[in-house]
Amino acid sequence: MVVLRDCPPGADMTLRAVVAGGRERLRLVELGFVPGARIRVVGRHGASGLVVAVEDTRVALNARTGAALVVEPRP
């Protein structure tokens, strides 16, 4: 397993864990970042930003948030 921040554009992943706490964790869950969710890396912006599709929704994340999402490749 890897963190989402390290995945290349086009990677199709399954979320396994959210390792953030408090409000950040709650906000990620509200956006659909729950274990088992399908996540696809749509693109990268600069050194620290990435755009991902969570199920049918696109979300922009910074590198710190991307490092809090543990994922594995979809079969």
- The domain of 36 spans 2-73
pLDDT at 32: 95
Q: What's the total number of domains in the chain?
A: 1
pLDDT at 36: 97
Average pLDDT score over the chain: 94
Give yes or no for residue 16 having a pLDDT over 80.
yes
User: Facing residues of 51 across strands?
Assistant: 43, 60
Determine how many CB atoms are found less than 10 A away from the CB of residue 20: 18
In this structure, are residues 13 and 73 in contact, taking their beta carbons and an 8 Å threshold?
A: yes
Task: Give, in order, the Cα–Cα distances in Å from 11 to each of 23, 24, 27, 74.
Answer: 27, 24, 23, 9
CATH number where 48 lies = 2.30.30.90
DSSP H/E element including 65: helix 63-66
